[in-house]
Chains A and B, each alone.
Chain A
Amino acid sequence: MLAFLGAMALVLVAGAPWVLPAAAGGTNLESPRDVEVYIVDDSFILKWNRGSESLSNVTFSVDYQMYLNVYDELKLRIRAEKGNNTSPWYEVDSFIPFHKAQIGPPEVHLEAEDKAIIINISPPGTKDGVMWAMDSSSFIYNLVIWKNSSPAEERTETVYPTDKIYKLSPETTYCLKVKARLRMQRKVGLYSPVYCINTTVENKLPPPENIQIDGNNQNYILKWDYKYENLTFQAQWLHAYLKKIPGKHADKWKQIPNCENVKTTQCVFPQSVFSRGIYFIRVQASNGNSTSLWSEEKKFDTEIQTIILPPVINLKPVNDSLRVYIGAPKESDNKSVDEDYPLIYEIIFWENTSNITNKIVEKKTDFTFRNLKPLTVYCVRARALIHYEKWNKSSGFSDTVCEKTKPGNTSKTLLIIAVICAVLLSIPVVVYVVKVVLRCVKYVFFPSSKPPSAVDEVRSFSLSTAGFFLKWKIYLISTEYICFLDFQKIIQTDLGIFFQVSVNEL
């Protein structure tokens, strides 16, 4: 603990004498008054007003109550001493050093390029300091930069401990100052001294610009723009979190496979190169003899860049509705299984025969289109969108799926009624037909000897002619049957001529 406290520097500053009306004698020294404590990083500064004593041979001593760390309360007291006389202790209100402490100026190292400046900031306080021991990676730095020639036009930026300032002019003197900030505690530090540096002569080869990364199935496509042709490029990546940790990370950049010495302004590499995380990517051009400087570092978050695959649609016709099931896309690799973005779906549906399409946006993956025309073919296709406007990412459209709706309820009932009626009406008809058929069958196969009772009249004729065959047709119409009588034979007998009548029934 003692060693710990030893790291703190205590600076005592005595203020101007404060003249009291002459004290009534006595050897009692006056204790210091108006003691104020300032803390900057690990330095404690005490300021006070001494009493009315003469300046000679007065010393002050400060006492502090032992404390464990900067987050515990600290009690200070101070008194004046002259020889054997001491003043009473003046006790400073207890305080928590961490709360009172002010963030001091950080240290800045600069390196100039033609259109950029590389900065390297060391956190405030000393390396073994205690005050900010737990905050070394928590500082946020605000940088103000201006051209030496026009100090009024200044630019403010928030920078990492290792960072670059871009968009500068070559061969110009730039000056800057940096202050550190702690976000949570809302502490704003003191500005560092002003550092000035000259940017270099413009490099022959400019750095690549406009780096873009897109995902495509199982690959990432890295693209950039470059003015000139016939150059080779290489691309590197860095873990984003390293930028927060102070120190040099120049050696931690790694080569992206398939992006070394490429002749085109793009390269394709598999998604497996980057596990889930946030990275920085930079590209450099080279023409064999010389290389350009590194491009601006592009932040790359694999979560945001991941491709969303189009969903799979299933349709099921139910009465006069169409039930839509939106399923997850077939995963091309295991990675996308874990991705549970809040997706919403844009669904486009239309009647197969018309050109008019309807578009709806739906959160659910199981819903129904109601009140559709029966026995009509409808088609549906959909795509997934990330439910966060700023990202503006969507999948491609799914395949179009078409289904015919079922016949409606009303026509069905009519159909049933019609069928029933038809059945009912046809029964007597059927019975009638069956009866007639049976009678004919009976007559043909089981003839009776009696003349049918339906024969009402038989006229008898006697004719003197002999051997003439007369055919008469006598129609006897009964109530039910129409019968045709054929006279076929004339039978001669003594008693006269009798006609044998054969009756044919129809």
Chain B
Amino acid sequence: MSTKADVTRKCLQPAYLVGLFITGILSLDCNVLNIHLSRVTWQNMRLLSGMSNSFPIECLRENKAFELPHEILSHIQPVKRDIKKAFYEISIQAFNIFSQYTFKSTWEEKHLKQIQIGLDKQLQYLEQCLEEEEKEDEDMKETEEDGTKHSGTMVPRLSHLELRRYFNRIYNFLKEKKYSHCAWEIVRVEIRRCFYLFLKSIVLLRRK
């Protein structure tokens, strides 16, 4: 039990700070929503930690390297909107993955519900922010030339592909292992790691 507390503390301290940084980054037009977003993200990470008492040791040997693309953010110009889009992609994939959950006895239902609720909230806040920007964007699109537009969307597309491939590996892993208890545990830890590393990259980006 004490190790869990240690681990949670270790994980949560930087996450808390990072959560505050998100507020700064995503503060284009979405004022209060960003406060909620950062808080909700941090809560979700906490939920992901708390879903299980501890990672079952017997699942360690089934562990797989999903190769989270660390460099994804180096592809993205540090444009706030692209970071938001990447974050949206990560959030929605995490939501989709947990929506496929079928194995009843791995986690308590209330924990699963909470993480789904939390991720959905994360998505809702992101969607609201992105919608506002989409409207601006559509006005801009009409005046932009095709050439420039095309090159503009290529860069985020590539990084989104990287993210997709990464999540695809997770999906395939789940399917291969037939959605077993160990598979779900591994995926849970992986997604939490993904959130954490993503948030950390944002912090590093800001420092540049």
A387 and B31 contact, Cβ closer than 8 Å, known pairs A134-B93, A277-B121: yes
Kindly state the separation between the CA atoms of A185 and B117 in the bound complex, as whole angstroms. Answer: 24
Q: How many residues of A contact B (CB 8 A)?
A: 33
Neighbour of B35 across the interface among A245, A275, A341, CB < 8 A: A341
Contacting B at CB under 8 A, from A233-259, are: 239-241, 244-245
How big is chain B's contact interface, by range?
Answer: 35 or more
With an 8 A cutoff between CB atoms, is B36 at the interface?
A: yes
With an 8 A cutoff between CB atoms, is A157 at the interface?
A: no
Q: Which residue of A lies closest to B163 (CB)?
A: A71
A137 and B99 contact, Cβ closer than 8 Å, known pairs A69-B168, A72-B165: yes
Q: Which residue of A lies closest to B131 (CB)?
A: A183
Kindly state the separation between the CA atoms of A137 and B118 in the bound complex, as whole angstroms. Answer: 15
Kindly state the separation between the CA atoms of A239 and B160 in the bound complex, as whole angstroms. Answer: 29
B86 to A: closest C-beta gap in Å: 9
Kindly state the separation between the CA atoms of A337 and B153 in the bound complex, as whole angstroms. Answer: 43
Kindly state the separation between the CA atoms of A276 and B118 in the bound complex, as whole angstroms. Answer: 9
A184 and B160 contact, Cβ closer than 8 Å, known pairs A342-B32, A342-B35, A388-B32: yes
Q: Which residue of B lies closest to A140 (CB)?
A: B127
Contacts of A342 in B (CB 8 A): 31-32, 35
- Could you tell me the dominant secondary structure of chain B's interface residues? helix
Contacts of B75 in A (CB 8 A): none
Q: Contact at B157–A137, with CB atoms within 8 Å?
A: no
Q: Contact at A278–B31, with CB atoms within 8 Å?
A: no
Q: Contact at B92–A137, with CB atoms within 8 Å?
A: yes
Q: Which residue of B lies closest to A303 (CB)?
A: B36
Q: Contact at B113–A239, with CB atoms within 8 Å?
A: yes
With an 8 A cutoff between CB atoms, is A461 at the interface?
A: no
Q: Contact at A184–B89, with CB atoms within 8 Å?
A: yes
Contacting B at CB under 8 A, from A267-283, are: 275-278
Q: Interface code A214-238, partner B: CB below 8 Å = 1, 0 otherwise?
A: 0000000000000000000000000
With an 8 A cutoff between CB atoms, is B161 at the interface?
A: yes
B35 to A: closest C-beta gap in Å: 6
Contacts of A275 in B (CB 8 A): 114, 117
With an 8 A cutoff between CB atoms, is A99 at the interface?
A: yes
Neighbour of B121 across the interface among A99, A134, A135, A278, CB < 8 A: A278
A182 to B: closest C-beta gap in Å: 10
B97 to A: closest C-beta gap in Å: 9
Neighbour of A133 across the interface among B92, B121, B124, B171, CB < 8 A: B171
